[in-house]
A and B are shown apart, each in its own frame.
Chain A
Amino acid sequence: MIRTPLRPLARILRAREAGENPDVIERENLRLRHEQMRDRARLQAQGRLLFLAAFFTVAFGTVGTRMGMMAGAETEGPSARAAASAINAQRSDIVDRNGRILATNLDTYALYAQPAQMVDKVGAARELVKIFPDLDEERLVKDFTGKRKFLWVKKKLSPEQMQAVHDIGDPGLLFGPREMRLYPNGRLASHILGGARFGVEGVNSAELVGVAGVEKEFDARLRDKARAGEPLQLSLDLTVQDAVEQVLSGGMKMMNAKGAAAVLMDAYSGEIVSMASLPDFDPNDRPGPVVRGSPSDSPLFNRAVQGVYELGSTFKIFAVAQAMQIGMLGPDTLVDADAPLKWGKFTIREFQNKNYGPLLSAQDVIVKSSNVGVAHIALRLGAERQQAFLRQLGFFEPTEVELVEAPTGRPLLPPKWSELVTITASYGHGIAASPLHLAAAYATIVNGGLKVTPTILKQDRPQPGERVLDEQVSADVRKMLRAVVDHGTATFGEVEGYQVGGKTGTADKPKPTGGYYDDKVITTFASMFPASAPRYVLIVALDEPVETSGPKPRRTAGWTAVPVAAEIIRRVAPLLGIRPIVEDTPVPALTLTASN
């Protein structure tokens, strides 16, 4: 910047020549310079003021906004609420359909040791073994005196045990709070509940993880903090489940069976009211998986869901129902039942080489359980239609029940569906499915023909499935099943007032090496009650039963599974609130249904 001189020589000289006062020029220039300086200073001051104003506006604005936000926000005690629910229910309860507890949590303590802080290591070990006889004293002494700084001694303590450990008084024995899973009903519904174990363990808490059954299937749901107070409601009925398990266990012993399974299902909604598998276990103290022998002999194995068996003659009703559905025959149509039936190099025989033929009505095929009769019906249906119908009933896929084991209950199907398979499948051989499959299929064919999907959760409303059979066909099927109990192979199944209807099935057990055992069978009774308007379907299956009251051991379902099922119905039907139907003649209600 060029600074203008206050006394520019040229103008001074000119002024002097003109006789003017040159100081005027200097003053004038000085004034101009001062004006410039003043303008600059003002601009600077204005800028500073503006900056200050902006600063204060922002600062006070921030304070004001924050105050406004604090004043406007809802005051809630964040410290108080969060802590409360976190400890209380780490895992939701499981309840039955009436809200009775099947699984809950209980506060307990775990015992751990810090050997570095222990005073009398050997003495403490000795005292501990006195309290917990299952501990190994030598091992404890080794752990306590060794290099370890920390070890778990016991995962769950009862209050008495805890007091006893307290009384040892060793500062190195410490307690960590735990929440443990408690199944107050012990063995009841053990296969459905499964069990739980500790997951990641810390000193102050440990997570609970489901290991099987609904506990594993719904693990995420049960651990969901947002739904902690909301119990998981199953479709089981505690009282009914207990009655079923008790009768089944008694029946299993009486029939000298090595295993048994029962499924009681609502015929419309598919809700499993009771499902039992014996032998069972205590989920509070779940045994480890078997390492030797077949897993299907383990008590952990759920025969009702995982066990796939050839279910024998219980399948006969499916072929007959399908034939009636497509109008091929009616209940009274005569069918060729001349035994034995030669098919290629195979011969299809009846039970004890009888011959019910030459002709039998379709109903009598079921009542007498004629293999040959149903084989002829199946041959007329053909392999494709038979497969389609069995697929519709769910025999080609594992059941969709909400148990983690369900996918392992995959039916065993022949690789190629030849005509011989068509024949054997019609009386339940060569195709293996679980008792739960059978329950769902029977529910479907007797409830009026609507497909039933089994579920273990309580349903608020009926779940109408696709139509498989017409109402009339379903009514005829019920009439046939009723006749089986009335004067067929399942006469021991009669329970006065409950109009039981059902079909027996006795299947030889396959040898692991191929072929079939002569003296080992699976007997099944698939039943429904009351036949005039079925509400429940009951499947009872016994593994290797022998009834020995007669001179010769009897192994048929009619002598083994049927009486057990009848006893279950006798006990359970009143508990389910079904009023006995007073019958004047054997089946008046059924005659009425048939005439519709």
Chain B
Amino acid sequence: MRSLFYVVTALAVMGLAFWAYRENYATQEAQAELDDLQRQIDEAHRTLGVLRAEWAYLNRPERLRDLALMNFDRLGLLSLAPEQFSRVDQIAFPAPAEAAPPLVGSVAVSSQSEEPL
């Protein structure tokens, strides 16, 4: 009985040692992965910072003004003027949509369910 106890204990110690060993390496691996991800996040943050700065630089009012002027023929952009404000009730109610043309020929359907939706 006693020897069985010793054997079981020894096996348990070995098992636990193996488990601890694996956990140790798994942790180290996770840590390394974490560091790697952290570095990637840092990198992404830095890139984001640069992109935000660039976005702000490209959207600086001075440049937008020049662009609006250069492309005036195509876009006709002007400064916002008081006349452009209006009240909701001044806008005509949208005309009722015209009846859909009758379907002729085959119709391609991308997906179809059995039940009517």
Contacts and interface: CB of A to CB of B under 8 A. Distances in A.
Contacts of A242: 61-62, 65
B35 A84 contact: no
Given A80-B35, A81-B38, A88 B79 contact: no
A83 B50 CA distance: 19
A50 interface: no
A186 B35 contact: no
B100 interface: no
Contact of A243 (B49, B79, B81): B79
Interface stretch (A24-32, A104-112, A257-265): A104-112
B19 to A, nearest CB: 16
A238 B62 CA distance: 11
B50 A106 contact: yes
A574 B46 contact: no
A512 to B, nearest CB: 36
Contacts of A570: 81-82
Contacts of B50: 106-107
B49 A104 contact: yes
Most buried by A among B50, B61, B87: B61
A370 B59 CA distance: 48
Contacts of B87: 579
Given A185-B62, A186-B60, A87 B82 contact: no
Contacts of A573: 82
Interface in A61-90: 77, 79-81, 83-84, 87-89
A571 B87 CA distance: 20
B97 interface: no
Given A84-B42, A87-B42, A104-B49, A77 B61 contact: no
A345 to B, nearest CB: 52
A495 B83 CA distance: 12
A182 interface: yes
A497 interface: yes
B72 interface: no
B103 interface: no
B85 A182 contact: no
Q: Indicate the size class of the contact surface on chain A.
A: 35 or more
A239 interface: yes
A498 B53 contact: no
A496 B81 CA distance: 11
Contact of B61 (A87, A188, A497): A188
Interface residues of B, number: 28
A101 B82 contact: no
A106 B55 CA distance: 13
A574 B82 contact: yes
B49 A184 contact: no
A575 interface: yes
Nearest to A182: B53
A186 B64 CA distance: 13
Interface in B17-69: 31, 34-35, 38, 41-42, 45-46, 49-50, 52-53, 55-57, 59-62, 65
B109 interface: no
B84 interface: yes
Contacts of A79: 35
A110 B85 CA distance: 51
Contacts of A105: 49, 53
Contacts of B52: 101, 104
B27 to A, nearest CB: 8
B80 interface: yes
A11 interface: no
Contacts of B83: 580
Contact of A88 (B42, B57, B65): B42
B38 A184 contact: no
B67 to A, nearest CB: 14
Nearest to A570: B82
A83 B36 CA distance: 13
A29 to B, nearest CB: 50
A467 interface: no
Interface of B: 31, 34-35, 38, 41-42, 45-46, 49-50, 52-53, 55-57, 59-62, 65, 79-85, 87
Interface of A: 77, 79-81, 83-84, 87-89, 100-101, 104-107, 182, 184-186, 188, 238-239, 242-243, 246, 495-498, 570-571, 573-575, 579-580
Given A84-B45, A185-B62, A580-B83, 6 more contacts: A77-B35, A80-B35, A104-B49, A107-B46, A188-B60, A580-B85
In the A-B complex, the 6 residue pairs with the smallest Cβ-Cβ separation, listed nearest first, are: A242-B61, A184-B56, A101-B56, A184-B57, A580-B82, A574-B80
